[in-house]
Amino acid sequence: MWARSCFLTRLVASSVKISETAGGVIKEILCGGELKIVDKGGNGKPADLQTEADRAAQYCIVRSLHKVFGDNLTIIGEEDVTSYTPKIEESYCAKVLSLDERCPADLRGIKPEDVVIWVDPLDGTVEIANAAKKTPAVLAQVTVLIGIAYKGRPVAGIIHQPYYEGHETGRTVWAINGVGTYGMDYVKADNKQQKVVVTTRSHGTSSVDAALDALNKKGLADQVVRVGGAGYKVMRVLEGAAAYVFASQGCKKWDTAACEAVIEGSGGRLTDISGRMLNYDKGVQLNNSGGVLVTSCWVDHQEYLGSIPQSLKDGLPEFQAKN
């Protein structure tokens, strides 16, 4: 099956397993208790934390991908510093390979040198680093994100959630453009009276609140739920929330690449708060300076976009001013 499948299918099949092994690395470190926390920002802005789990998970992911696919792969990971772990994953998810024939013709010819792989080895770091107690609700916010871009756009993505109550090895949602989103039964129709909107827990700003207020007034945000992590918020949208709204800067390309592929595969959408598509080419600005708007397949993305005040959009231009 491996040899017959196209490169993109093989890359996703392998990345699913690698994300799960990275999830195991994260769990071992979080259990051990020695997080060795570093603040990468250290400039008075909101803390941008990194733990030993972030460092080791990225080592596992990057080393594993290079081992399986060679050094010709462009991988952009969140962490500049990594920590050795012997856990290198070389196996693959057979379910992904079994769907290879559904991979669209225009993606079948993708070669290793054509892709940019965006890796957030541990999304939701602030939530676990700052938690007084690592309850199941706190741990659920941790995800491993691997997004695959081709010609600047996400074509596949993996979101692994290592802690998912009742499931020893967590769960993994993956998507390939044109094939679909797999790994969970996501909500496909409007079966909700109330529109729940998920947003940041740790990086709130007045602009985030103003956007939520405006959506609430239009009946598009009846309830606001504040939880950590881009990956976890997208999981919440797949589980029934109407939208994920972040009208602020700070969320990066490695946060959104996998999320965008997964949400698009489920029939939803991800853009910035002005409706612009994000670019994932190598060398692009890392910050999603235009904010993030994710909508479920059962709500109208345009309606959400149209209800966010222009003044907030003007405050979040596509490109970040250099300082």
Which of ligand AMP, Mg ion, none sits in contact with 264, Cβ below 5 to 8 A by type? Answer: none
Question: Would the annotation count 300 as a binding residue?
Answer: no
Alpha helices (H) along the chain: 7-32, 52-69, 94-98, 105-108, 125-130, 136-139, 206-217, 230-238, 253-265, 301-307, 310-314
Considering only residues 254-293, where is the footprint of Mg ion by CB under 5 A? Answer: 255
The residues facing 117 across adjacent strands are 75, 148
Query: Of these residues, 9, 51, 82, 125, which one is catalytic?
Result: 125
Nearer to Mg ion by C-beta: 210 or 286? 286
- Name which of 232, 100, 94 is nearest 156 in CA terms: 100
Burial-class residue 57 by CB neighbours within 10 Å (0-12, 13-18, 19+).
Answer: buried
Which residues in this chain contact ligand AMP in the complex, by CB under 6 A? 46, 48, 123, 200, 202-203, 228-230, 246, 250-251, 255
Question: Would the annotation count 30 as a binding residue?
Answer: no
How far, CA to CA in Å, does 116 sit from each of 8, 104, 254, 271? 12, 19, 11, 19
Which of ligand AMP, Mg ion, none sits in contact with 268, Cβ below 5 to 8 A by type? Answer: none
The residues facing 74 across adjacent strands are 116
How far, CA to CA in Å, does 302 sit from each of 183, 270, 294? 28, 11, 11
Which of ligand AMP, Mg ion, none sits in contact with 46, Cβ below 5 to 8 A by type? Answer: ligand AMP
Question: Would the annotation count 114 as a binding residue?
Answer: no
What's the token pair of residue 135? 């309850």
Whether residue 80 lies in the annotated active site: no
Which of ligand AMP, Mg ion, none sits in contact with 272, Cβ below 5 to 8 A by type? Answer: none
Whether residue 39 lies in the annotated active site: no
Question: Would the annotation count 123 as a binding residue?
Answer: yes
* 123 lies in the site for Mg ion, by CB under 5 A: yes
* 78 lies in the site for Mg ion, by CB under 5 A: yes
Binding residues for Mg ion, rule: CB under 5 A, are 78, 120, 122-123, 255
**Catalytic annotation, residues:** 54, 125
